[in-house]
Structure 1
Amino acid sequence: MTKAPSLRSATDTTRNDHTREKLLLAALELFGQYGFEGVSTRKLAERAGVNLQAINYYFDNKRGLYNAVADYLIERLQIRVGDRRKIVLERFAEAQSGDRPIDATEARDILIAVGESLLTLFADDESAIWVRYMVREQAEPTEAFDRIYTGFMQPMLTAVRHLVGILIEADPSSERTRLRTLSLVGSLIIYRVGRATILREMGWSAVGPEQIIAIRGIAADLVAGICPIGESAT
């Protein structure tokens, strides 16, 4: 016979998880819009529709909630690009071990696939909330930025840098390769942070399925432009 306390415990756990996620979603939106100092705990609780004491219960304080948002963001990003990220990192690790080096053709194909995945993510309306939070952290980095960089950005940048190094025939750790990698990533990110300009310039009222297909196609063009010094992109 199932004991009643166990049933209540499962129900309470589900309720607690739901309350915690509501706070994280509200915090992600509000912190992205107004920054850490611009949001009160009362406003956070009201937006989440929970009791004010819930913030201290789940996160200790507002700073704890702010940092937890960074961890939550990493989880969401991994879910959205998880499969592609896993494939890239595993292939990168294999190449690093010397078992099966990556040649220029494969490097280009992988970069295009990564670019397409990121452009698809950035075209999604959900990413607008994420990016506002991340842009604030880029402008004034806190512990939250360290979490995002270490937990998600750094592993991918390292792999992408290795692939770019193959294409430009340069040391992946060199300044030139790092800057070229950042240039590529920046060219992808503009499709999220520069959304208003893109809509105006393209004459689009919104980004729908057709627009996403067009944007994804840019990935191949961007990667095609990566080549050694002195060589022209073909």
Structure 2
Amino acid sequence: MSKSKPLRRPPEGGYARGDETRRKIIDAAIHLFGQHGFDGASTRDIAARAGVNAPALQYYFENKEGLYRACAESLADESWQVFEPAVLRAREALARNAGTEALIDAFIGILEAVADRTIVKRSNPDSRLFIAREQSGSEPEIGSNVLDERLRAPLNEVNAALLARISGRRADDPLTIVRMISLHGQSLLFNFARRSVQTLLRWDDIDAKKADFLKKAICEQSRVMLQHWAHERDARRAK
């Protein structure tokens, strides 16, 4: 498994220019990896789209796999910046043994953050394609490893812990995991199946107002389910 290289910079000055070049290459690579897959995207085409010469890719990333890893790291870090505040609030609620409603609020807070990232602010189509290919299992494993470690694992850990407290089941209970996937799958569906959503709702586009409507609907129905599972927990304990 290759590790991403430290960012190379000129010895004196040129810091912003070096960062900008690296960013252009990553953006171009995310687009072409998303459009054509790892095998179908050539380093020559990536360099041309980024407006750099081919050796620049080797200079910054060593090889194609290093560039693919850098793309996954970039996507993970961008998403984590959105999710981290809600995750930290959720961890704090768990640490202080907060009550049921506070735990539900924490779970909804993470749902809102995910919906903001995927629906309201509209994740880049290139990013969606990159992730869709990565999830298909046809791309280099390093991308999934990065996204799992930096993004999915911490999200799943705190979400499962919240659901465990709310429902009274173990965090590793298959039902807990299925419920977690189902609740968060709502935002992913509206993100990856935008065309079908627009067709069903007879919308020409999902603008900011409509995206906010979807987010509120997701969170409202999720809150109902969370409260229901909490009532089930209390009923079991009362027996």
Q: TM-score range by the shorter chain?
A: 0.7 to 0.9
| SS of the residue 1:35 aligns to | helix
Q: Which whole-Å CA distance do the structure 1 matches of 2:103 and 2:76 have between them?
A: 25
Q: Which whole-Å CA distance do the structure 1 matches of 2:231 and 2:91 have between them?
A: 30
Aligned-pair Cα RMSD in Å? 2.1
User: Where do residues 175-214 of structure 1 align in structure 2 (5 Å cutoff)?
Assistant: 175-214=174-213
| SS of the residue 2:13 aligns to | helix
Q: Match of 1:131, as an amino acid?
A: R
| SS of the residue 1:36 aligns to | helix
Corresponding residue for residue 157 of structure 1: 156
| Equivalent residues of 2:93, 2:102 under 8 A apart | no
Q: Match of 1:70, as an amino acid?
A: A
Q: % of aligned pairs identical?
A: 25
> Matched residue pairs, number?
219
User: Where do residues 1-234 of structure 1 align in structure 2 (5 Å cutoff)?
Assistant: 9=11, 11-92=13-94, 95=95, 100-123=96-119, 124-140=121-137, 142-217=141-216, 218-226=218-226, 227-228=228-229, 231=232
Q: Which whole-Å CA distance do the structure 1 matches of 2:212 and 2:198 have between them?
A: 15
Q: Which whole-Å CA distance do the structure 1 matches of 2:125 and 2:193 have between them?
A: 11
1:38-87 deviation line (CA, Å, top 9, x unaligned): 10011100111111111100000111100111111112112233322333
Normalising by the residue count of structure 2, what TM-score does the alignment of the two structures yield?
0.84
Normalising by the residue count of structure 1, what TM-score does the alignment of the two structures yield?
0.86
Is there any run of 5+ residues in structure 1 with no aligned partner, and where? 1-7
| Equivalent residues of 1:32, 1:132 under 8 A apart | yes
| Equivalent residues of 1:122, 1:128 under 8 A apart | no
Q: Which whole-Å CA distance do the structure 2 matches of 1:219 and 1:11 have between them?
A: 48
Is there any run of 5+ residues in structure 2 with no aligned partner, and where? 1-9, 233-239
Q: Which whole-Å CA distance do the structure 2 matches of 1:29 and 1:87 have between them?
A: 34
| Equivalent residues of 2:77, 2:150 under 8 A apart | no
